[in-house]
A and B are shown apart, each in its own frame.
Chain A
């Protein structure tokens, strides 16, 4: 019979142990924390990955695929990590070390530790249905809370986007719109209401967002987006743009700026019963100019005010855009990059077509010919 003490002592003789100061000098390699979740939450080594010892065998190859790179394993005092190091050797890891004295000695030596961020009990309750989804969880929700998303337009597409992004806990939502809420908007623009008729749409949307989720920081720009103000607005540091503009000059302007600044754009457009949705991720997929090098002539580009739109259509398209925005912000799933989704609400039919980056695109192509803002109104009036 072997006792725990004997087994530990024998195991330590079969592995390499490093003290905190020596381990810290180990230039490369991956640090694996094999403690339990509650111990990890109370602080861990910077850059470490958390793989509780109970999951070590099944998960280690997911975090350390290269078995030739050094692996430094630690626990609280260096006992569990000794057994873990032995296991890793058996799995074929060639340079495994156990941190002698573990996290306790590391801390005692005054070396740097990291306190993981966690959600407050209130946020844990509010976002509980997100936390239950493995793809989002606490880490994903923290990413959403850290995200800054800019909405171009607080109309048909911007309304559902602003509400669902706010509900999802996007930390900062910017809204650009110069218009005032009028009665014809209320057939579809659900962020606005009778109470806000006659007020700026950005203020009305801000009010709706804050009534839903006061955690969200709302930044309003009551102006029409132009070549003159777009740099100032984008300098506020947006991770992502949700484009719900209502005209071609703004669409092309947003495209050019987003390519130059490397900001993904979630595109949506609508007319009557039909919608288009895609994601333009600069240099990874096509841009708006790759898809549509030129706008149609003005007589083939009626606005909703001229041609009408089914009230629920921007609801569908705006929430599809929001789905893409949330996925991009949480870094999950397959965004609609290189794919254009077409919706026909009358037939209830979705069609997907492939779109590709064009090497000869004047903005994102191999030899760009447009490298600064142009006169977008003139370009679209040709």
Chain B
């Protein structure tokens, strides 16, 4: 199981959790597993076979868009960060 970090704006979709678990050998498999386990969270970040355009997904510190996208490999020990932009400077 990999650790998935949930951004603050999506924590209500994850029952308030800061981190959840999901499994998969690639980002696609992992996000599909996440969508099965926590549909409210999964559908916010992944839909129609694509990562939602406003969310960045990092596997072990690297943006999957700069690697192999949904085919980027994920290990059991990987940390996956879901990251939308935050605007606040207030």
User: Which residues from chain A sit less than 8 Å from chain B, CB to CB?
Assistant: 152-153, 155-158, 243-248, 251, 268-274, 276, 291-297, 300-305, 307, 309, 314, 342, 344, 346-347, 351-356, 358
Contact of A295 among B81, B83, B87, B89 (CB under 8 A): B87
Asked whether, in the complex, the Cβ of A355 is within 8 Å of the Cβ of B63, the reply is yes
Render B76-88 as a binary contact track against A, CB cut-off 8 A, 1 for contact. Answer: 0000010111111
- The docked-state distance in angstroms from the alpha carbon of A156 to that of B90 is 5
In the complex where A274-B8, A294-B53 touch, is A156 in contact with B63 (Cβ < 8 A)? no
Give chain B residues whose Cβ lies under 8 Å from the Cβ of A297: 54
In the assembled complex, how far is the CB of residue A183 from the closest CB belonging to chain B, in whole angstroms?
A: 14
Give chain A residues whose Cβ lies under 8 Å from the Cβ of B56: 291-292
Give chain B residues whose Cβ lies under 8 Å from the Cβ of A356: 63, 66
Residue B10 CB within 8 A of the other chain: yes
Residue B69 CB within 8 A of the other chain: no
Asked whether, in the complex, the Cβ of A274 is within 8 Å of the Cβ of B90, the reply is no
Q: Which label, helix, strand, loop or mixed, suits the secondary structure of the B interface?
A: mixed
Contact of B9 among A152, A271, A351, A354 (CB under 8 A): A271
In the complex where A271-B9, A353-B63 touch, is A296 in contact with B88 (Cβ < 8 A)? no
Asked whether, in the complex, the Cβ of B8 is within 8 Å of the Cβ of A270, the reply is no
- The docked-state distance in angstroms from the alpha carbon of A344 to that of B86 is 13
Residue in B closest to A244 when the chains form the complex, CB atoms: B89
User: Which residues from chain B sit less than 8 Å from chain A, CB to CB?
Assistant: 7-10, 18, 44, 53-56, 58, 61-63, 65-66, 81, 83-90
Asked whether, in the complex, the Cβ of B86 is within 8 Å of the Cβ of A269, the reply is yes
In the assembled complex, how far is the CB of residue A330 from the closest CB belonging to chain B, in whole angstroms?
A: 24
Asked whether, in the complex, the Cβ of A246 is within 8 Å of the Cβ of B89, the reply is yes
Contact of A246 among B7, B62, B90 (CB under 8 A): B90
Asked whether, in the complex, the Cβ of A305 is within 8 Å of the Cβ of B8, the reply is no
14 A-B residue pairs with Cβ-Cβ distance under 8 Å, sorted by A, are A244-B89, A246-B90, A251-B85, A251-B87, A270-B86, A271-B86, A292-B85, A296-B54, A301-B9, A302-B9, A303-B90, A305-B90, A342-B81, A358-B65
Residue in A closest to B60 when the chains form the complex, CB atoms: A353
- The docked-state distance in angstroms from the alpha carbon of A97 to that of B83 is 61
Give chain B residues whose Cβ lies under 8 Å from the Cβ of A245: 87, 89
In the assembled complex, how far is the CB of residue A351 from the closest CB belonging to chain B, in whole angstroms?
A: 7
Asked whether, in the complex, the Cβ of A353 is within 8 Å of the Cβ of B58, the reply is yes
Known: A156-B90, A353-B61. 5 other contacts (CB 8 A): A247-B87, A248-B87, A296-B85, A304-B88, A354-B61
Give chain B residues whose Cβ lies under 8 Å from the Cβ of A302: 9
Contact of B54 among A158, A243, A251, A295 (CB under 8 A): A295
Query: Residue among B18, B66, B86, B88 with the most chain A CB within 10 A?
Result: B88
Asked whether, in the complex, the Cβ of B10 is within 8 Å of the Cβ of A300, the reply is yes
In the assembled complex, how far is the CB of residue B13 from the closest CB belonging to chain A, in whole angstroms?
A: 10
